Amino acid sequence: MIIAGVEAGGTKFVCGVGTDEGEVLERVSFSTTLPDETIHQAVDCLVAMRNQYAWQSLGLASFGPIDLHRESPSYGYITSSPKLTWQQVNIVGLLEQALGTQVYFDTDVNAAALAEQRWGAAKVKESVVYITVGTGVGGGALVNGKLVHGILHPEMGHMPIRSMSNFQGICPFHKSCLEGLASGPAMQARWGVPAEELPPDHPAWQEEANHLAQGLVSIISILSPGIIVLGGGVMNQTHLLPLVRQAVQDLLNGYIAVPEITKHIDQYIVPAGLGSNAGLLGAMALTLI
């Protein structure tokens, strides 16, 4: 079966088609500008792909916050996003109307968690957390094999943590939340250069690991997931992951005495398996559940 997907990100959109086995056949990406322009571009792209591949279903993995309650008048809208021009944009409705097809819909990070569980680093796990550390910090989750929703959806970047310095972070809403302290732009604000220009032995990385570990320990304390997958641009600095694992063990200090943490943490906190395709494949996977 051929499926189409849209990853709607705050900085770029990715449109693509692939198979129900997780193979991407084609992908196109373009910058996120104003809603009308960007959604129009996505529609053009999806129409061209439908002509070529005859895709049968369409999934959308979107930045948020988004309204996932089917009975809500704003179902399918991006709601209180810090990206102001996109607030109250009916992204699902606009795509459905333009394309005449149902759109399966969830957050970019919930979708990525689903894709990693189906085709990536978290295969066959019933309980998965996916965290992206990039322009922002976000997290999605599956518990008992199902995506986590509630009054909203996970917004893991906004949990309060302890700053390891006097820097209180860059989140306009919260002092010392995970995103405000550990995102790429937060590292740049703290150290004055882009994160990727900081050498691996710079103290920034230990501090970054300590911030991320607090978030992961809260996740482990609350959800006890079967596996934690870390993706996003900041995690591309591969020297960071071992520091994060060690910081998680240090912070737990032996309290959660299971072998996944005490002995095999390298198989418990793992890098994303789908790389930059996680969001697109996640959008596609949403049509399969």
| Closest to its own copies by CB, 80 or 90 | 80
Q: Give the 3-state secondary structure of residue 105.
A: strand
Q: Which is nearer to its own copies, 4 or 219 (CB)?
A: 219
Q: State which residue, 22 or 226, has the beta carbon closest to its own copies.
A: 226
Residue 45 or 261 with smaller CB distance to its own copies: 261
d(CA 219, CA 23): 31
Q: How far is the CB of 46 from its own copies (least distance, A)?
A: 30
Least gap, CB of 158 to its own copies (angstroms)? 5
DSSP code per residue over 148-217: --SSS---GGG-B---SSS---S-SS-TTBHHHHHSHHHHHHHHSS-GGGS-TTSHHHHHHHHHHHHHHH
Instruction: Give whichever of 49 and 171 is closer to its own copies, judged by the CB atom.
Output: 171
CB of 85 to its own copies, least distance (A): 17
Instruction: Give min distance, CB of 122 to its own copies, in A.
Output: 12
CB 91 within 8 A of CB 136: no
| CA gap 70, 76 in Å, rounded | 8
CB 79 within 8 A of CB 66: yes
**Does an H or E element contain 279, and which?**
helix 278-286
Name the residue nearer to its own copies (CB basis): 100 or 254: 254
Minimum distance from CB of 145 to its own copies (Å)?
Answer: 9
- Name the site residues for its own copies (rule: CB under 8 A): 65, 79-80, 126-127, 139, 141, 143-144, 146, 148-162, 173-174, 176, 214, 217-226, 251-258, 260-261, 268
Cβ atoms of 181 and 133 within 8 Å: the answer is: no
Comparing CA positions, the residue from 156, 182, 46, 180 lying closest to residue 103 is: 46
Strands (E) across 32-112 are located at 57-62, 103-107
Q: How far is the CB of 180 from its own copies (least distance, A)?
A: 11
* Rounded-to-integer distance, Cα 177 and Cα 160, Å: 4
